[in-house]
């Protein structure tokens, strides 16, 4: 067991930190306030390989382990959790294309996605199917060399501004085994986008509903085989949950850094805030919880990298723990800033608003508990991972 970062991992971290401080940090507040989706910054991220961090090398990705990708995402999220969270969704969809598309389809789309030339959305949730995603109702029927898609998706990150949709749709029976996954060009005839949702946070990326009305998709753009779509979507989400957990760790680190600077700057009762033991204890707890969350995320990433049978369990645990702790650390950092934490001149309220949704999406934290409990109860044990 080695808790040290390798030389390569340190280099990724330093490159990501330098990029984030240059390209994200100076603009994040404006992107949030004005609802700007920063395409140029995302394209610059692509130039460094950040749009295909763990996508397959054969199709343009860097092919990094999830652990290394998490180290990069954490640095980016410390500067702008919202933009980074979108970038992680793009990475998830790009990995799904490079991993499960037919070779000619992966060769056509993979490199353009991995380079950031094209951006992707992941389309699972529907108006009537959120936590119970396996009940989704969007249909795909085969017609010759095409599938024809009809239905609706809700809450799709990036929708309306992305080029590729990875869409889960029903080709067969009710339940998870009747679902297939497709790569769909986002400008296909019959696709319509809803209004941009007004959200509490994640304002540097659009969220929209999508409707599909007789949308024709080449049959070759099926990912995997018919009926494998739900399993593919869940494989994507194992990594996605590590990514979202990482965005919470990054946001918490950004908030803690701000709080640590502030307690030295701000004086009350003739002393810096740093002199008050109540705040020292708060900072100590925040730092301890941050390290615990980060280590849990890295453990889950290494279980996924190892192809461990219990990787899904650890991804769910990491997502639950890191997003809950990350939100609470952001909240404590806001509290340490007093009234200034609540106003937009400081980044705390933005970190808090951005981190809140991490407890809801890519499976709510209640659903993470369902996954964890179900497995433990089925196996009558919770063993130390080997």
Ligand X SMILES: Cc1cc2nc3c(=O)[nH]c(=O)nc-3n(C[C@H](O)[C@H](O)[C@H](O)COP(=O)(O)OP(=O)(O)OC[C@H]3O[C@@H](n4cnc5c(N)ncnc54)[C@H](O)[C@@H]3O)c2cc1C
Active site residues: 362
| CA dihedral of 288, 291, 295, 301, whole degrees rounded to 10 | 140
155 binds ligand X (CB under 6 A): yes
Candidate list 16, 62, 79, 89; residue touching ligand X; CB under 6 A: 89
Residue 156, H or E segment: strand 146-157
Smaller CB separation from ligand X, 197 or 226: 197
Give the residue with the Cβ less far from ligand X, 31 or 122.
122
For position 140 contacting ligand X by CB under 6 A, the verdict is no
Stretch that binds ligand X, among 10-18, 108-116, 321-329, 359-367 (CB under 6 A): 359-367
- Cite the DSSP H helix spans in 166-276: 229-265
**Mask of contacts with ligand X, 170-209, x by CB under 6 A?**
-----------------------------x--x----x--
Binder among 152, 290, 357, 371 for ligand X (CB under 6 A): 357
- Is residue 259 near ligand X by the rule CB under 6 A? no
Residue closer to ligand X (CB basis): 256 or 355: 355
Using the structure block, give the residue that is written with the tokens 């950092």.
333
> With binding defined as CB under 6 A, does residue 330 bind ligand X?
no
Nearer to ligand X, 194 or 385 (CB): 194
Q: Is 245 in the site for ligand X (CB under 6 A)?
A: no
Least separation in angstroms between CB 265 and ligand X? 33
Q: Contact between 152 and ligand X (CB under 6 A)?
A: no
Q: Contact at 8 Å (CB) between 250 and 84?
A: yes
User: Which residue, 35 or 385, is less far from ligand X as judged by CB?
Assistant: 35
User: Which part of the chain contacts ligand X (CB under 6 A), choosing from 123-131, 215-223, 269-277, 313-321?
Assistant: 123-131
Minimum Å gap between C-beta 149 and ligand X is 15
Which is nearer to ligand X, 157 or 323 (by Cβ)? 157
Q: What is the CA radius of gyration of the chain?
A: 21
- Distance linking the first and last C-alpha atoms of the chain: 10
Indicate whether 367 belongs to the interface with ligand X (CB under 6 A): yes
Q: Could you tell me which stretch among 15-23, 44-52, 122-130, 141-149 binds ligand X (CB under 6 A)? A: 122-130
How many residues touch ligand X under the rule CB under 6 A: the total is 23
Under rule CB under 6 A, residue 327 binds ligand X: no
Q: Does 360 bind ligand X (CB under 6 A)?
A: yes
Residue labelled with tokens 């100076």:
26
Q: Does 105 bind ligand X (CB under 6 A)?
A: no
Among 82, 83, 125, 248, binds ligand X (CB under 6 A): 125
Footprint of ligand X (CB under 6 A) = 89, 121-125, 130-131, 155-157, 199, 202, 207, 357, 360-364, 366-367, 370
């Amino acid at each position: 067991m080695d808790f040290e970062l390798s030389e390569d991992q340190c280099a990724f971290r330093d490159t990501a930190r330098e990029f984030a401080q240059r390209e994200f940090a100076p603009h994040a507040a404006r992107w949030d306030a004005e609802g700007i989706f920063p395409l140029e910054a995302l394209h610059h991220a692509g130039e460094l390989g950040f749009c295909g961090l763990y996508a397959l090398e054969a199709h343009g990705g860097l092919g990094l382990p999830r652990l290394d990708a998490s180290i990069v995402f954490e640095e980016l999220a410390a500067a702008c959790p919202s933009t980074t969270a979108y970038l992680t969704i793009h990475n998830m969809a790009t990995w799904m294309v490079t991993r499960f598309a037919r070779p000619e389809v992966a060769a056509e789309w993979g490199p353009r996605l991995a380079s950031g030339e094209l951006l992707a959305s992941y389309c699972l949730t529907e108006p009537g199917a959120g936590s119970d995603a396996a009940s989704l109702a969007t249909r795909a029927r085969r017609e010759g060399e095409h599938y024809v898609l009809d239905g609706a998706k809700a809450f799709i990150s990036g929708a309306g501004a992305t080029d590729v949709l990875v869409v889960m749709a029903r080709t067969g029976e009710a339940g998870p085994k009747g679902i297939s996954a497709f790569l769909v060009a986002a400008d296909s005839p019959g696709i319509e986008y809803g209004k941009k949702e007004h959200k509490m946070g994640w304002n540097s990326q659009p969220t929209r509903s999508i409707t599909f009305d007789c949308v024709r998709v080449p049959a070759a753009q099926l990912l995997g085989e018919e009926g494998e779509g739900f399993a593919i979507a869940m494989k994507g989400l194992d990594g996605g949950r590590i990514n979202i957990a990482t965005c919470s760790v990054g946001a918490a680190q950004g908030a803690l850094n701000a709080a640590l600077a502030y307690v030295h700057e701000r004086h009350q009762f003739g002393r810096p805030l740093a002199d008050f033991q109540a705040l020292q204890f708060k900072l100590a707890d925040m730092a301890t919880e941050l390290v615990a969350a980060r280590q849990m995320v890295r453990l889950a990433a290494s279980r996924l990298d190892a192809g461990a049978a219990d990787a899904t369990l650890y991804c769910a645990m990491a997502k639950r723990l890191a997003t809950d702790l990350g939100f609470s650390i952001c909240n404590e950092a806001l509290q340490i800033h007093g009234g200034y934490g609540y106003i937009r001149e400081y980044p705390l309220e933005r970190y808090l608003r951005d981190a809140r949704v991490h407890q809801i999406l890519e499976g709510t934290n209640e659903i993470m508990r369902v996954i964890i409990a179900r497995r433990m109860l089925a196996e009558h044990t919770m063993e130390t991972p080997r």
